[in-house]
């Protein structure tokens, strides 16, 4: 259930604007966009009919899977690269090195190709094959490495840093602690949500990998209306829910099939985020919701989207009817054919039963 807490010894995020805002106009149909980078963001905000009806609220989702690299992380990838260019750290023909669960890497690979950089990706070997395949097709050099905690020097992030340090004209974009990531959401996602709802948004809820989306959107929306609730949605096994509700950096029970979200520490992007409530969402709940999104709303998305929408429904029920709750659909289901949308894999994880029986027939 929803838990609120007033824990915040960390100072609030201040908004400083950079010179490369993408603007918030959705006027994309009758204009020529400036290359691949010009297509990042300005995603539609879409009302979910059935879930809105059930809650008496408007549950609306930003369709982040429509970004050119297919996920919410394209926004961060673009800002990380542009920030490095602006600061003179990344020069023509240079190499971008990053540690990622995959989506940031795919975003970076697209942007690197379009701007003339090489891309090297370190990722934990626990992530879906589809994401690794996509990265390789895009021409990125991929190093899947054993999944070890952040305090282990062989964690994928530290390996990425070392690799970049040892190479000429290479940068480590450092999505977790480089706040150019969060700025992408302060300058684009947040303003888009504000404009698309005409300011009539009661709450937003986002799961957290780096925390960029939650902290950035939350910071921007609070600057427009401090009453807007900002809700952190967390999967099993992450530390953030307990950190927020109990003040302890301890894992919650279990582990999650979600990819790209859940965290073991407070990243610099998350520090100072104006969080009002936190929700812990179980895999059984989010898997059920992901299949409801597919069969009842028509959206074929990944597990973090199911988690986000589960949380949005809970927030809507807490607020009561008449409110607008916004979240995002982070990436596409196509990234998870071999897992979330595979019967044997779901069985192995004990999650097949979580899916309503009428929605299981197409699975193989
Ligand atoms: N969903 C998916 C599928 C992701 O890959 C990520 C980022 N790794 C997120 C959600 C969370 O985004 P953020 O890093 O902005 O917290």
**Strand, coil or helix: what is 106?**
helix
Nearest Cα to Cα of residue 99 among 170, 160, 163, 178: 160
**Strand, coil or helix: what is 136?**
helix
Q: Which helix (H) or strand (E) holds 41?
A: none
Residue 75 in contact with ligand 1 by CB distance below 6 A = no
Active site residues: 73
Compute the distance from residue 208 Cα to the ligand 1 centre, in Å: 6
Q: Is the pLDDT of residue 3 over 90?
A: no
Question: How high is the pLDDT of residue 350?
Answer: 98
Compute the distance from residue 78 Cα to the ligand 1 centre, in Å: 15
Confidence of residue 220 (pLDDT cuts 50, 70, 90): very high
Question: How high is the pLDDT of residue 1?
Answer: 56
Q: Which helix (H) or strand (E) holds 74?
A: helix 73-86
Question: How high is the pLDDT of residue 24?
Answer: 45
Compute the distance from residue 331 Cα to the ligand 1 centre, in Å: 9
Q: Is the pLDDT of residue 52 over 80?
A: yes
Burial level of 17, CB count in 10 A (0-12/13-18/19+)?
Answer: exposed
Which residues neighbour 326 within 8 Å (Cβ) at sequence distance 6 or greater?
A: 45, 60, 61, 62, 193, 197, 201, 203, 204, 205, 312
Show the CA angle centred on residue 206, arms to residues 136 and 239, nearest 5°: 85
Q: To test ligand 1's pocket by mutation, which of 260, 308, 309 has the most ligand atoms within 8 angstroms of CB?
A: 260
For 149-190, give the secondary structure using H, E and C. Answer: CCCCCCCHHHHHHHHHHCCCCEEECCCCCCCHHHHHHHHHHH
Residue 72 in contact with ligand 1 by CB distance below 6 A = yes
Tokens standing for 6?
């007033």
Question: How high is the pLDDT of residue 19?
Answer: 56
Question: How high is the pLDDT of residue 149?
Answer: 94
Specify the higher pLDDT residue, 3 or 98: 98
- pLDDT, the chain, mean: 95
Q: Is the pLDDT of residue 139 over 50?
A: yes
Question: How high is the pLDDT of residue 16?
Answer: 77
Q: To test ligand 1's pocket by mutation, which of 64, 74, 102, 103 has the most ligand atoms within 8 angstroms of CB?
A: 103
Question: How high is the pLDDT of residue 5?
Answer: 67
- Bin 172: left if φ > 0, else alpha if -120 < ψ < 50, else beta: beta
Question: How high is the pLDDT of residue 340?
Answer: 98
pLDDT in tens, 6-44: 555 678 898 876 655 454 444 456 799 999 999 999 999
pTM value is 0.95
């Amino acid at each position: 259930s929803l838990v609120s807490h007033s824990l915040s010894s960390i100072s609030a995020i201040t908004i400083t604007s950079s010179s490369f805002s993408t603007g918030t106009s959705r006027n994309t149909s009758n204009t020529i966009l400036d290359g691949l980078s010009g297509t990042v963001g300005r995603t539609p905000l879409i009302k979910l009919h059935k879930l809105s009806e059930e809650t008496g609220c408007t549950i609306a989702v930003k369709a982040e899977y429509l970004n050119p690299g297919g996920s919410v992380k394209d926004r961060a990838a673009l800002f990380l690269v542009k920030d490095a260019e602006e600061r003179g750290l990344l020069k023509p023909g240079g190499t971008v090195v990053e540690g990622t669960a995959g989506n940031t890497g795919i975003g970076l690979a697209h942007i690197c190709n379009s701007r003339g950089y090489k891309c090297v990706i370190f990722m934990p070997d626990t992530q879906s094959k589809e994401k690794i395949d996509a990265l390789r097709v895009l021409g990125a050099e991929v190093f899947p490495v054993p999944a070890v905690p952040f305090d282990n020097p062989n964690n994928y992030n530290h390996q990425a840093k070392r690799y970049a340090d040892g190479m000429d004209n290479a940068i480590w974009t450092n999505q977790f602690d480089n706040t150019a990531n969060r700025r992408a959401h302060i300058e684009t996602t947040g303003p888009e949500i504000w404009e698309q709802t005409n300011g009539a948004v009661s709450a937003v809820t986002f799961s957290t990998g780096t925390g960029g989306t939650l902290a950035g959107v939350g910071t921007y929306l609070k600057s427009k209306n401090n009453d807007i609730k900002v809700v952190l949605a967390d999967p099993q096994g992450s530390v953030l829910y307990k950190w927020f509700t109990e003040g302890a950096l301890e894992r919650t029970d279990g582990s999650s099939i979600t990819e790209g979200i859940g965290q073991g520490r407070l990243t610099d992007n998350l520090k100072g985020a104006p969080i009002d409530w936190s929700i812990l969402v179980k895999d059984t709940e989010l898997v059920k919701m992901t299949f409801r999104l597919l069969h009842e709303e028509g959206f074929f998305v990944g597990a973090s989207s199911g988690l986000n929408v589960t949380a949005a429904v809970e927030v809507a029920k807490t607020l009561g009817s008449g409110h607008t709750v916004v979240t995002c659909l982070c990436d596409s289901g196509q990234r998870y054919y071999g897992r979330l949308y595979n019967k044997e894999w779901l069985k192995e994880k004990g999650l097949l039963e979580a899916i309503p029986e009428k929605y299981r027939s197409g699975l193989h």
